[in-house]
Amino acid sequence: MDILSIALILTFVLLLLLGAGLWVALSLVGVAVFAMTAFTTAPVGPVLATTTWGSTTPFSLIALPLFVWMGEILFRTRLSEDMFRGIAPWVTRLPGRLLHVNVVACGIFAAISGSSAATAVTIGRMSIPELHKRGYDERMSIGTLAGSGTLGFLIPPSIILIVYGVAAELSIARLFIAGILPGVMLIALFMGFIMLWALVNPGRVPKSDDRLSFWRKVYESRRLLPTILLIVAVLGSIYLGIATPVEAAVVGVLGSLALAWGTGGLNRRVLADSLMGATRTTCMISFIFVGASFLTIAMGFTGIPRSLAQWIGEMELGHYGLIAALTVFFIVLGCFLDGISVVLLTTSIILPMIQAAGIDLMWFGIYLVLVVEMSQVTPPVGFNLFVLQGLTGRNILQIARAAFPFFLLLQIGVVLLVVFPEIATYLPQQMTKN
């Protein structure tokens, strides 16, 4: 049987298992077992055992549960309230006014949580009631939060960048640094769109009631100081080479515990809930990671990645053609799977193509996260949409409609990253020189 037929059969089996409602991790293992049993003579049991051990024991993977725990701790503090009050005085003069708080606050929280859904729900709990009370357009309030929540995937310390770094055997520290400028680019795109929308629809933005003096604004900004110090401690230690990502994660956990204690939000219940939340999330990711790693090995035995890479090379699509095709593929896949599942599911198949096409794996990691961010705001399976549905009580289609402009802005971000790859590669190159 030819390679194309095998690939189509395995794709059908995977879609069948996912459509039946089987967990993503079990679906991946099921496809791998089927592939090895039907198309190879390799021993399934020993390969599964060694893959499970090898995929869960890399030292760099230790950073994953630590950063997840840091986000869980901060999720249960008054951080979102402090950020709202600290940022709000500075944006009331901009067109769109307090709508910018969603973008800036999500950007800040993303830098200490690493999770898209956690970013959206933490900031949304505070900002949505405040914006509604002040008479801001509900659709725009929801849309800005849905779009800005995706920053949790990109701005380091990103959980999904850790997962990609381990799967692709890349430096997680360099991946973190590579995500900074693209994250700033998205923040600028989101804020620019808000200002343009506000100028076109002046009647849908409440008038400013800002009467605070400059020094009063500075005083209100004191609430941001602990958060900024934590971001500097985590990312600064990595960028300066003082700490590895694992060591920086330890600093982040200790800092988040101190921040929770300082705001009066740390007690036995909060500590237990944060540990359980981090355990559930880490186990889910690890389980998927094992399944994806096993599928990677199975694909290697069948020879599919090598044949696909050769096929891509013979098509001579070029960088732009390949990236355009992959973008459409990831957008469609993201409609049905969460971001981490998309990355782990496709890495084994996509990376040989990328290497054959001569594309930088570091740049591709940032591109992949940008495209996967779209899956957070695309129905029917968009985690940020589900989060906002729970916060607002609106149906999923209303929320998806509100998030659609930011879905398009993410696509613009992808185009900019493709046209100007230095957005992702400049800082890692400077880090290497230093």
Query: What is the model's pLDDT at position 209?
Result: 59
Query: What is the model's pLDDT at position 311?
Result: 67
Ordered per-residue pLDDT tens for the chain, 434 residues:
677 788 788 878 887 887 787 877 788 888 889 988 988 888 888 888 888 887 777 776 787 788 878 878 877 777 767 777 788 788 878 888 888 988 988 888 887 776 777 777 778 877 888 888 888 888 999 999 888 888 888 888 788 888 888 888 888 889 989 999 999 999 999 999 999 999 998 888 887 656 667 777 788 788 788 888 888 888 888 777 788 888 888 888 898 898 888 877 788 888 899 899 888 878 877 787 788 778 778 877 877 766 765 666 666 677 788 888 888 888 877 776 667 777 877 776 788 778 877 889 999 999 999 988 887 787 766 777 777 887 787 887 888 899 999 999 999 999 999 999 999 999 888 876 65
Helix (H, G, I), strand (E, B) or coil at 382: coil
> CA-to-CA distance for 274 and 279, rounded, in angstroms?
8
Number of domains the chain contains: 1
Question: What radius of gyration, in Å, describes the C-alpha atoms of the chain?
Answer: 22
Within 13 Å of residue 4, how many CA atoms lie on the same side as its CB? 3
386-394 contact pairs (CB < 8 A, 24+): 387/117, 387/120, 387/121, 387/124, 387/149, 388/120, 388/124, 388/142, 388/145, 388/146, 390/121, 391/121, 391/124, 391/125, 391/128, 392/128, 392/138, 392/142, 394/142
109 and 79 in contact (C-beta within 8 Å)? yes
> CA-to-CA distance for 416 and 353, rounded, in angstroms?
22
Residue type, 433: K
> CA-to-CA distance for 357 and 368, rounded, in angstroms?
16
What are phi and psi for residue 58, nearest 5 degrees?
Answer: -60, 140
- CB atoms near residue 53 (< 10 Å): 10
Query: What is the model's pLDDT at position 433?
Result: 66
Cα–Cα distance list, 244 to 139, 298, 361 (Å): 42, 32, 20
> How many residues are there in the chain?
434
Query: What is the model's pLDDT at position 306?
Result: 65
Query: What is the model's pLDDT at position 362?
Result: 92
pTM of structure: 0.78
- Provide the residue range defining the domain that includes 43: 3-433
> CA-to-CA distance for 219 and 196, rounded, in angstroms?
30
233 and 252 in contact (C-beta within 8 Å)? yes
> CA-to-CA distance for 360 and 171, rounded, in angstroms?
13
